[in-house]
Amino acid sequence: MPERIQIHPNAPVSATGGAVRVVLLYAGFSGLWILLSDRAVGALVRDHDLMTRVSIAKGWVFVAVTAAMLFFMVRRLVRNVASREAKLQTLIHAIPDLVWLKNGEGVYLGCNRAFERFFGAPEAEIIGKTDYDFVTKELADFFRQKDREAIEAGGTRENEEWVTVAETGQAMLLETLKTPMYDDRGNLIGVLGIGRDITEHQKLVDERGRLQAQLNQSQKMELVGRFAGGVAHDYNNMLGVILANADLALYQMGQDRPERKHLEEIARAARHSADLTRQLLGFARQQPVDPRPMDLNEAVSGMLNVLGRLVGPDVRLTWLPGTGLWKVRMDPTQLDQMLTNLLVNARDAIAGTGFIEVATENLTLTPGDCLSLSDLKPGDHVCLSVVDNGSGMPPDLVARIFEPFFTTKPAGKGTGLGLAMVHGVVKQNQGAIQVESEPGRGTCFRIFLPRAL
């Protein structure tokens, strides 16, 4: 068991020593006064009546002198105690952490100014009261439970707790240390508490974890992208051989030959595989591109008819172009691929009727905005957003949607490469993509592309 902490464990010894010194000084002075004064009176005064009066006067002088001595001694002691008390109070109140002391029943014996702000009351109004006078019953029960745990353990106990500062109404996370305090006889005096605001520290820890997760995800995607690019190149070479031989055989084969349909199936499957290869190359950022300055409003407007047929008659497609839109620099083919994949996914997430909204706007991102958007620098950007009212996704699925070959669609309905390709295209153009989704509340994709200089 840890050693018990006493409040001023040497105080009884110091007090006893000080009292003994005062008594000895008083006894010595008294004895010396009586001895010397009696001899002086006996030697100087022979008249009995006069001796009586002189003895009475001597007694009053003794009382006056001893009273003066006691006054100066007690004043010195009180002044020293008051000075030490003032220094202790100044030290406690200067501590930015919350400091308080309760007795064994949870009644407050004292606190500092930081704790006064927590309860929104001065120390004089806090002393003599309990947690139940200031906070909710649930929180007060929690505080009392932690007090009991510290008392039962006989040593310091640490815990974290979310509280609300009464003075400002601001929530903060406290790292609390509670230590039972004992007197020199081992009797419990109370529980000393120290609470430190670690809200900002916790935010930094969470932010560090988020950035580490982003770094891990980026490294994983980069590794998978390199692998996918290598596989796609080799696969594309084999497809070229298959397609060339199938087309050559079809060219030399008559239209009435029954084997022709099998060759056509081979050629059709090879072309479909070639489409998958292009998606893999797009994800791996190895597909040849021709970036150029372009107006997203003009580009999307030119695709509306095709996009409308793509989503079908049961889904309402709304186009909200931003005014005075800045230009971005990218390959128009990549924009077609991005929008097509995003709208197909949005359409598939809608059961029955629904809507899809495509919008653009200018945004100037600050360093704070870029904290949640990895690999993005502050400055002018164009935001392209696609919003649907489909089924939505839980957070665990949102974290994986850009992984190649990961899909939430039934077997045969998706390859898992569409969003991976979108992610690759966005990164290839020094942009960032943000996803917000909740089950039953739809999904919002925001693509941030740097303004073309």
At residue 18, the pLDDT reads 65
The amino acid occupying position 145 is Q
Residue in the block written with tokens 């400091």: 99
Separation CA 330–CA 382 (nearest Å): 12
Structure tokens at 133: 């006078």
Cβ neighbours of residue 197 under 8 Å, at least 6 residues apart? 97, 172, 173, 174
Q: Are 402 and 214 in contact (CB under 8 A)?
A: no
Helix locations, 95-182, DSSP H: 113-119, 123-126, 137-153
Q: Per DSSP, what are the bridge partners of residue 142?
A: none
Candidates 228, 238, 327, 214; CA nearest to 280 is 228
What contacts 355, CB < 8 A, 6 or more positions away?
315, 316, 317, 318, 388, 389
Could you give the C-alpha distances from 229 to 2, 202, 218, in angstroms and in order? 62, 40, 16
Give the pLDDT of the chain (453 residues) as one tens digit per residue: 445 545 555 555 556 666 677 677 777 777 777 777 767 766 776 666 776 777 777 778 777 877 887 788 778 877 877 777 777 677 777 788 889 999 989 999 988 888 888 888 998 899 999 999 998 898 899 999 999 998 888 888 888 888 888 878 888 888 899 999 888 788 888 899 998 888 888 888 877 877 777 667 666 666 666 666 666 666 777 777 888 888 888 878 877 788 888 888 888 777 767 766 665 665 555 555 678 899 999 999 988 888 888 888 889 999 999 999 999 998 887 888 888 889 988 998 888 889 999 999 999 988 877 777 767 788 999 999 999 998 888 888 888 787 766 666 655 555 566 787 788 788 888 888 989 998 988 999 999 999 987
Q: 174 with 161: CB under 8 angstroms? A: yes
Q: Among residues 129, 124, 125, 113, which one has the least CA distance to residue 167?
A: 113
Is beta strand 354-365 parallel, antiparallel or unpaired with respect to 315-320? parallel
What sign has the CA pseudo-torsion 51, 57, 61, 67? positive
Region of residue 100 (phi > 0: left; psi between -120 and 50: alpha; otherwise: beta): beta
Q: What is the per-residue pLDDT across 151-176, written as a single tens digit (0 to 9) for each?
A: 888 888 888 888 888 878 888 888 89
Local structure of residue 314 (DSSP, 8 states)? T
Point out which residues pair with 442 in neighbouring strands: none
pLDDT of res. 2: 47
Whether residue 284 contacts residue 233, with contact meaning beta carbons closer than 8 Å, is answered with no
Residues contacting residue 435 through CB under 8 Å, at least 6 positions apart? 398, 401, 443, 444, 445, 446
Query: For position 204, what pLDDT does the model report?
Result: 84
> What single-letter amino acid sits at 2?
P
- Is 169 exposed, middle or buried (CB count within 10 Å of its CB: 0-12, 13-18, 19+)? exposed
DSSP β-bridge partners for residue 380: 364
pLDDT at position 386: 94
Mention every residue, 6+ apart, whose C-beta is less than 8 A from residue 56: none
User: Hey, what amino acid is at 439?
Assistant: P
Collect all residues with Cβ–Cβ distance below 8 Å to 50 and sequence separation of at least 6: none
- The span from the CA of 76 to the CA of 82, in Å, is 10
pLDDT recorded at residue 1: 44
Give the total residue count for the chain: 453
Read off the DSSP letter of residue 324.
T
- CA angle 135/139/143 to nearest 5° reads 105
